[in-house]
Every structure is written in structure tokens, then in C-alpha cells.
Structure 1
Amino acid sequence: MRVIFRIFIVTFLLFHSFVFAQNLETKIDHLITSKFKPETPGAVFLAVKKGKVVYRKVFGMANLEMNVQMKPESVFEIGSMTKQFTAVAVLMLAEQGKLKPDDEITKFIPDYPTNGNKITLHHLLTHTSGIKDFTGMKAIKDIARRDLSPKELVDFFKNEPVDFKPGEQYKYCNSGYALLGYIIEMVSGQTYEEFVTQHIFKKIGMNNTFYASHDMIIKNRASGYRDREGFVNANYISFSIPYASGSIMSNVDDLLKWQNAVSSNALLSPAFTVKAFTNYQLNNKTNIDYGYGWHLEKVKNKAVYEHGGSIFGFKSMGVYEPTEQIYVVGLSNCDCNSPTAITKEIASLLID
């Protein structure tokens, strides 16, 4: 009798688990298909819980002109999700004793005009430097297609008036991460591309992740689009412009490898990993809900680490909840269709 009862319980639990998985998949499908249509630019979504992939699906087209459907392996430009990699690269150099977050930027760029202010790497990492965001400058259109060196990019914005004194406000700033890329190059003796490729991508097996290039042949590259009363190709931009603030390409499988490497301390010791996820404060002790390269938010009252990205033709979003080891990432190839809300809703469905 006991054996029969145990068989019944196991069968019931397996059936319940199967029904839950089917219901979850149906709910996620509905979320995505309401926004991404088969004949339009598409997306790839991946969801993981406690090390198990619970959802991995594609929607729409990778290339409209060639009639190529999206694949799970499709490679996208991930825009500002690049900032995670830049922040970890800085922390890797800090752990090696080659720099400190509290170092002033004039230690590395002596002629940078700080107007008597103390601007540190910490300020750059947390968007609290007050430096003008170069992507909001009107003159950006004059350099968007030009291949600039990191120094030339920094020279483009360095003489702009600051928005506020360091540490007084939080204001999202791509200029800060461009400066960090330049400093990584000076400290490491490698280009930013060489550093992240050697010390991050190759180290953890991210074989489909690249510093973006218009020239390189990239297998499974998705084309980018925008909507101008009908889909058109995305504007061209030199990848030297987004640089260390937004020039990485990847796919959902590689981004899972990245998240696993970060959360398992494969790239940094626990003492340095925690620096990326500390909720830093302004001078007045107000929390900014940002660490180093990650926003610190909440989903279903659970703390999550997240960051999105937007670049011509592409949108991205990744959310990680540490207690249940939930990771959800969505990548899309039209800057008209963001995966951000859907990614958060999927994470919400997965949180117990």
C-alpha cells in the first residue's frame, strides 16, 4: 500500500510540474506574440531558473530582405548591456592592483579638464560624475559615421560644461563609460576590444560574442531595423562611437554564460563581485539604485540586477534574481520594439 501511495505522490508531482511548465510556456508565449509578429523584425528570449533553462524561443525575422527567420543562436548588438563588461573589466584591473575605483581620472588622463572637481572612476561607473553625456550632444551627428580613436572620442566631449558636481546627482552618462574604456586601454596595454575578448569572452567560452564590427563576418548576425511608417534598415554608426558604453554583440546563450560567470565569481573574487552590486549613494547619502554596470531594482519585491541596451536597430534587456537564480534575457532587432517590459514580466512569472 505504501509503495502504491508513493507512486501516486510521485506521479502527481510529475503531472503538476508538467502542467505548471505548460502553463508557464503558454503565458510567456502570449506575452511575446502580442508584441512580436512572425513577419516583422523579431526577438529571442531565454529564461533560466536554478540552472535549468525553462524557456528559449525565437520570434519573427532576423533579416527582412533575405527572408531569414530568427534563430536561437542569432547574434544581436546589445547596446548598453556592454556597460556590465566594462565595469567588470575595471574591477578585474582593480583586483590586480592596477587601479582603484577611488582613483581620480586625472591620474590616467592628466589633461582632462575637471575644473577643480575630484572626478573618480567610481563616479564614472555609477553615472554620478556630472560629465556631459556625449550621446545627447547635437554635434553627435557629425561624428556618428566616423571611426575615432578613444582619445578622439574623449576629446569630442571633454570640454563640455558639467551638469553638476561629482556625486551630487545620478544622471545616466555614456561619456563615463567611454572614459573607462580609454582608461582600461592605458592601464592594460591592450585595446578595449583585445582586453574584453581575451580576459572575458575567451575565458568563459563566449564564442558568439564580439566587439562589434561592420567588416567582420559574424555567423548568425541579425540585421537591425527601425520603423518609419514601415520597416527600414537601421542607421549606420561607427562602433568606435558607442565604444565601451555600447559596442558589444552577443546572443542569449552567451549572455547566460556571462551571467553564470559573474554570479559564480569566475571572473572576480567575491569581494570584488559584490562591488558591482552595491547600491551606491550620492554625497547626501541618497541611494542611486545603481551599482557598477547594473541597475538595482525590484520585481515582486525581490531585489534584481538588470540592464538594458539600445543602439540603432536593436534593443536588449537582462534581469537576474539571485535568491532563486533566475535569469531572463531578451534581444530584439528593431529599435521600435523593446523587450524590456516582457523580460521583467517573465522574471515575475518565475519568481515564487
Structure 2
Amino acid sequence: MDSLGVHGMSIAVINNGKIVYCKGYGFSNVAQSERVDNRTFFEAASLSKPVFASFVLTLANENKIDLNKPLYEYLPPTNMIDERYKKINAAMVLSHTTGLPNWSESDTINFLYNPGEKFSYSGEAYTYLAKVIAKQNNLTLETLDNYFQSELAKKFGLKDFHFILTPTIKNKLATGYQDSSVVYDDRDRNRFDSAGGLYANASTYAKFLTQLMKREDLFNDMFVPRIDLESNDIVKEIFGIEAWTSGLAVIKIKNSVNFWHGGNNLGFTSSFMINPEKKFGYVFFTNADQCNGMKKILEDILWQ
């Protein structure tokens, strides 16, 4: 933590399908000397995406959404002119093969590739899919979290596990830091943000991961590669990713097949890795901006 400039951190380790270690380190708020404990919440950033993917697959298992049906038939997008959007389906969104960029810098989203052609990590696509699910259930992004609670969070036994900022979370939310400066973005935290809006701590997220591995047969699509990453893909170069499933990245370490996801929001960095065969893994959250070096440190220890 010292060498990477991390003020606060929450970490859990899973072994044989059980949480065997969970602890908070450092400060959730430096100025107020508030320390991180197991109840401290962090912005999960893109660790939101695997949770949302499991939510979507739950709905698919209940025949409430067809993963292969073009999304425009549920809800036409309002920010895409290129008619290639008619080829996008939920399966492509979860595996990042829509051809859309991560985030668009204009009101109109332009395609990078043809849908289904190659891997292209996209928060825009996840946002679109959330709108589709809300529309299908006569909900809005302001009310979709209630549906998530009933369809997945409560079934997994996950308390205070939300895609919106609740009073309980706000009271125990860590402050985000960029070096030693407090940082905070201005997004609407009352709207369901499938790409990066989950709030969590290591204890609750680790429980989600144990449930995911326990129910691997129900979430099989999350553990089967859908698209191989090209050798020159920047995501592959940085994180060593071989392929992507419906929600997770595939990483091989010493001949073991593992599933990973990381996340970066302004002032927060998070990561997890699981090995379903051994029911083993970790998850951590920090209130440090772009602290991706912590991933390698943990994996060098746990996968030695």
C-alpha cells in the first residue's frame, strides 16, 4: 500500500469456496482519520459488470430476456445512427463484442468494428443493455436497482449490495483519492449504472463470488470463452487476458485457468480473480486512483 500510494484497502481471500480472510487496511478518509473496516464501502467501478452479467443471465435462465435477440427489438437506441446497431444482442454486450467503444465523446456513438467481429471493451454497450432491461420491466434506471435486489441480490444473500447510492452506503463510503488529493466525479448516483455504479466491500463481493462459483452450472456462460483477444490488443498486453466470456476475462497463470475482472473509477481501483475448479480467489477494493499494480502483487503471492 505504501509503495503504490494506497490510503485504504479492503481485501478478501476465498479458499475451498469459503471466505477465509477478510480485512480492511488504512484509511477510508485521511483527513478525518476514519479507518477501513469490513463495512466500509467502495465504488466497485467495472467490478459492476460481472454482477450485472450474472443478473442478465439470471433473467435469461428465467426466459425473461433472449440473449440472442437484437436489442433494438426491445428498445431502439437513441444515440446510434449506424444501422449496424440492429445486429447487437445481449450476448454480444456481455462478451464485449458489440463493436462499440468503451465510452463515446459525442452524443452519437460510432462503431469501431462490426458487431460480433472482435473484442472491444464497452461500457456504452452495458449501459444500453441496462436501459433495455428497465424498459422490458416497465422500470427506469432510477428504479431498476429494486428489480436487481429481488432477482439476484436477495437470492445470493447480498445485503447492502446496490447499483445506486443508498443512505447506508453513503454513511460508510470511502473517500476517493488521486495521489493525496480528494477526487469525486459528478455522475448521477441515483441512476442504475451497470458499467461502473455498484457499491461494495470485499466481504460482500467475496460472498457474491462464492455464490457464482457454487452455481457455476447456472452461470456456465460466464466460464466459457466467447472471443479470443488478438495478440496486439492493449487489454491483453496490460493484463495478460487470453479471452473473454459472458462477463469475465480468462487469464492463465502457471497452467491454471482463472477468471478476472478489474475496475477503475475516479479515485478507486478494484480487482478480483477466481479459480472455479479450486473454488479459490481474491477480491480487493482501494480508494486509490489507477492502482492496477496491486493486482500483480496479490497474484504473485496467492498463485506462487
Same fold (TM over 0.5): yes
2:118 to 153, 166, 169: 169
1:274 aligns with 2:242: no
Equivalent residue for 1:341?
296
Q: For residues 119 and 130 of structure 1, what CA distance do their matches in structure 2 show? A: 9
Residue 160 of structure 1, CA deviation: 2.5
Q: For residues 96 and 72 of structure 1, what CA distance do their matches in structure 2 show? A: 34
Give the TM-score of the pair, scaled to structure 1: 0.74
Q: For residues 17 and 76 of structure 2, what CA distance do their matches in structure 1 show? A: 46
Equivalent residue for 2:233?
none
Equivalent residue for 2:197?
247
Equivalent residue for 1:126?
95
Residue 280 of structure 1, CA deviation: 0.6
Q: Given the superposition, is the C-alpha separation of residues 109 and 345 from structure 1 closer, same or farther in structure 2, using an over 3 Å criterion?
A: same
Q: For residues 76 and 290 of structure 2, what CA distance do their matches in structure 1 show? A: 41
Structure 1 unaligned runs (5+)? 1-31, 140-155
Q: For residues 119 and 282 of structure 2, what CA distance do their matches in structure 1 show? A: 26
Q: Helix, strand or coil for the counterpart of 2:55? A: helix
CA contact (8 A) 1:303 1:321 kept: yes
Equivalent residue for 1:297?
251
Q: For residues 118 and 331 of structure 1, what CA distance do their matches in structure 2 show? A: 36
Q: Given the superposition, is the C-alpha separation of residues 258 and 42 from structure 1 closer, same or farther in structure 2, using an over 3 Å criterion?
A: same
Residue 114 of structure 1, CA deviation: 4.7
1:205 to 142, 146, 157: 157
1:198-257 Cα shifts (integer Å, max 9, x gaps): 2222222221322232x7242432111112xx3233333323688111100011111121
Equivalent residue for 1:263?
213
CA contact (8 A) 1:170 1:288 kept: no
2:131 to 161, 182, 185: 182
Alignment of structure 1 residues 213-252 onto 2, 5 Å: 213=165, 216-218=167-169, 219-227=171-179, 230-239=180-189, 243-252=193-202
1:300-324 Cα shifts (integer Å, max 9, x gaps): 2211111111111111101101222
Query: Share of identical aligned residues, percent?
Result: 22
Alignment of structure 1 residues 1-352 onto 2, 5 Å: 32=1, 34-35=3-4, 41-110=7-76, 113-116=81-84, 118-134=87-103, 136-137=104-105, 139=106, 156=107, 159-190=108-139, 191-213=143-165, 216-218=167-169, 219-227=171-179, 230-239=180-189, 243-265=193-215, 270=217, 272-281=218-227, 289-338=243-292, 339-349=294-304
- The one-letter code of the counterpart of 1:347 is L
Q: Helix, strand or coil for the counterpart of 2:83? A: coil
Q: For residues 75 and 26 of structure 2, what CA distance do their matches in structure 1 show? A: 46
Residue 111 of structure 1, CA deviation: 5.6
- The one-letter code of the counterpart of 2:28 is A
- The one-letter code of the counterpart of 2:38 is P
CA contact (8 A) 2:164 2:192 kept: no
1:249-270 Cα shifts (integer Å, max 9, x gaps): 01111112111211122xxx82
Q: Helix, strand or coil for the counterpart of 2:259? A: strand
Q: For residues 57 and 38 of structure 2, what CA distance do their matches in structure 1 show? A: 31
Determine which structure has more spread, i.e. the larger CA radius of gyration: 1
CA contact (8 A) 1:126 1:290 kept: yes
Q: Given the superposition, is the C-alpha separation of residues 176 and 163 from structure 1 closer, same or farther in structure 2, using an over 3 Å criterion?
A: same
1:27-62 Cα shifts (integer Å, max 9, x gaps): xxxxx56445xxx62111211211344433322211
- The one-letter code of the counterpart of 1:131 is L
Structure 2 unaligned runs (5+)? 231-240
Equivalent residue for 1:146?
none
Q: For residues 310 and 241 of structure 1, what CA distance do their matches in structure 2 show? A: 19
Q: For residues 60 and 262 of structure 1, what CA distance do their matches in structure 2 show? A: 29
1:140-191 Cα shifts (integer Å, max 9, x gaps): xxxxxxxxxxxxxxxx4xx332111112221111011001111111223343
The size of the alignment, in residue pairs, is 285
Q: For residues 87 and 274 of structure 1, what CA distance do their matches in structure 2 show? A: 12
